[in-house]
Structure 1
Amino acid sequence: MRVVSDFTKDGIKITLFDWNNKYLLKFEAGGMEQTFKIAALDVTDESDLEELTQGTFFDQVKERFDEMNQSLQKALKNF
């Protein structure tokens, strides 16, 4: 597995890996993570994947982290 790029945006660590004819796009916030696998054949250039770290897709990733955090906090209250 090769790290293609690694940066932080809006408090979310974003890492792009090249692995087994796939790209793995991993978002990490606190103890949570979301990973998306993208076939290498679906991408013309690695730089195209940077578009997924902006706009609507990235907004949805942030919303999902909020939902995940709320779910976890709710579950922890029940202990």
Structure 2
Amino acid sequence: MRFVQDIPHPHFRIGLYAWNGKYIVKIEAGPYEQTYKINEMDMVDPTAVHQMLDEPFLDRVTKRFGEMDTDWQEAGNRHDVF
């Protein structure tokens, strides 16, 4: 996987990578990560990814991170891990 660029954001670590004919957008928050793959042929300019990372999309990402944390905590509690 080849690193293309970091995409600045105040709450997440966002990285753009290229691998196997796809752009990969990795969004990290604490111990959680969301990954999105985009076919390179569907995107002429990788900087267009910035446009896709708009407020409505990142609001959903934030919500999903919260759901991921809830799921993880509940699983740990069910098994007396935490």
TM bucket, shorter chain: 0.7 to 0.9
Give, in angstroms, the shift of residue 68 of structure 1: 0.4
Choose between structure 1 and 2: higher strand proportion: 1
> How far apart are the structure 1 equivalents of 2:10 and 2:73?
21
Paired letter, 1:42: D
Structure 1 unaligned runs (5+)? none
Query: Larger Rg: 1 or 2?
Result: 2
So what's the TM-score if we normalise by structure 1? Answer: 0.88
RMSD, matched Cα: 1.3
TM-score normalized by the length of structure 2: 0.85
Task: Describe how 1:1-79 pairs up with structure 2 within 5 A.
Answer: 1-78=1-78, 79=80
